[in-house]
Amino acid sequence: MAQQEDNLLAQRRAGVLLHITSLPNEHGAGNLGREAYNFVDFLHNTGIKVWQTLPLGVPHGDGSPYQCLSAHAGNPGLICLEELKQNGWLQEAEQCDSCQAGGDYNQHCLVAKAYTGFENLASAEEKQAYVDFCSDKASWLDDYVLYVALHNEFSQQCWNQWPTPLKERKPAALKAARKRLASVIEIIRFEQFLFYRQWMALKEYANNKNVLLFGDIPIFVSYDSADVWANRAVFKLDKSGEMSVVAGVPPDYFSETGQRWGNPHYDWTYLKRTKFSWWKQRLRSQLEMFDILRIDHFRGFEAAWEIPASEDTAINGKWVEAPGKELLSSLQKEFGNIPLVAEDLGIITPEVDELRTSFNLPGMKILQFAFGDTDNNPYLPHNYDQNCVVYTGTHDNDTTVGWFNSINDHDRHRVYQYLGNPQASMPYLFIGTAFSSVANLAIVPMQDILELGGEHRMNTPGTVNGNWKWQFSWHQLSETQVARISNLVKMFSR
């Protein structure tokens, strides 16, 4: 099968960027059910061979997949309840009577009912699969399920606000909590089993259709997470567990004041001393789930922007070096040739480029960034080499139609001048440009295939409201669009 090739990133392929929550669903966000398989069929039928998603972790209340409760756990909101009904574990008429909140709470309640059905009706083979899953994932799963149970018990408060014995992970307090919350913990554990079961089934289906799954690893993890609570030594925290510095990026294309993400920084001295075992465990989880991976904010492996925790913006930070070469060498030694894409956008220095190229990792090219006033702009297609991934735009960009409608006449003239005053209109002009380039992999957000405007963008960096909620519906996809994307795939040997 395709995912067994020596270097998945060395062949010409086309891909689509679409998060699971953006799949069609009449009753809420997209999930791992029938429409996910329909989307794989769409990709297969058009010749597109890569499906890129955003991170699949458990988000906080803002819904951002880049700030999650765990670096390993999957979002239980993506579980398809319909499959549980088909298995007989959940009855068609079952309601969540005790929970009126709806949304994720309702989903959790119905999964709890499905657990009872699983206990009563699952085959011996299925029950053994659950036991095996809990054993295989115990290194992160045991901490995660307790963390979520406590997080819920303390009204979603971050772990640094919990009673001191639990905050400090005193063995007696942890033991008592596991006993007190045993039934709740078991449901949270079962959620993870269901998520992984459904995801791995989708992955097998996609791979059998010659579609590779492309995942995303945020370089930093959330402070409010099982990872930080259970592994405080991995992060730059003081003796009481508080952050004195936080992660972000300086002022750039996206924001005049930079972005203050608020994540903890890594204690690289500790990570080196432990032979990067925490990072190895993290990568192992993701390599099981995906064929290709992207490291978001790759430049943080060379140097990261440290902001005093007391600062409200990212302006007054400083660059602090990281041992990227040692880390990547260690990961390469452990896993061999990793199909890893480096997100190298923003302020990129020669040192960051050297780190990326020394490990032969493809970087990213964004067509929306290409048309300033210089011909040596690295995002212009004539400056590409094959070992890169070209995007019309990413989840952080406006849609291509929205972007093109917002730029001035001078920049619009630059676009048409560079592309030879073509008759094609946006966004297919950009899609064709991406596909015709020498880049081995060309990725197009689903919004661009559907020719949608800026009101359909996925995320606006530096804002907190209205993001991560976009969904498409099949009626937005025309036969003409299917034919156009299929023809471009064939025309440019992708």
Residues that are catalytic:
296, 343, 396
According to DSSP, the β-strands at 303-308 and 245-249 are antiparallel
User: Looking up tokens 């302006």, which residue turns up?
Assistant: 315
Q: How far apart are CA 316 and CA 312, in angstroms?
A: 9
Distance CA 280, CA 154 (A): 31
Are 412 and 404 a contacting pair, CB within 8 Å? yes
Distance CA 194, CA 114 (A): 10
Please answer whether residues 459 and 396 qualify as being in contact, where contact means their C-beta atoms are separated by less than 8 angstroms. yes
Q: What angle do CA 479, 481, 487 make, to 5 degrees?
A: 100
Secondary structure, 3-state, the chain: CHHHCCCHHHCCEEEEECCHHHCCCCCCCCCCCHHHHHHHHHHHHHCCCEEECCCCCCECCCCCCCCECCCCCCCHHHCCHHHHHHCCCCCCCCCCCCCCCCHHHHHHHHHHHHHHHHHHHCCHHHHHHHHHHHHHCHHHHHHHHHHHHHHHHCCCCCHHHCCHHHHCCCHHHHHHHHHHCHHHHHHHHHHHHHHHHHHHHHHHHHHHCCCEEEEEEECCCCCCCHHHHHCHHHECECCCCCECEEEEECCECCECCCEECCCCCECHHHHHHCCCHHHHHHHHHHHHHCCEEEEECHHHHCEEEEEECCCCCCCCCEEEECCHHHHHHHHHHHHCCCCEEECCCCCCCHHHHHHHHHCCCCEEEEHHHCCCCCCCCCCCHHHCCCCEEEECCCCCCCCHHHHHHHCCHHHHHHHHHHCCCCCCCCCHHHHHHHHHCCCCEEEEEHHHHCCCCHHHCCCCCCCCCCCCCCCCCHHHCCHHHHHHHHHHHHHCCC
* Side chain identity, residue 263: N
Separation of alpha carbons 215 and 217, rounded Å? 7
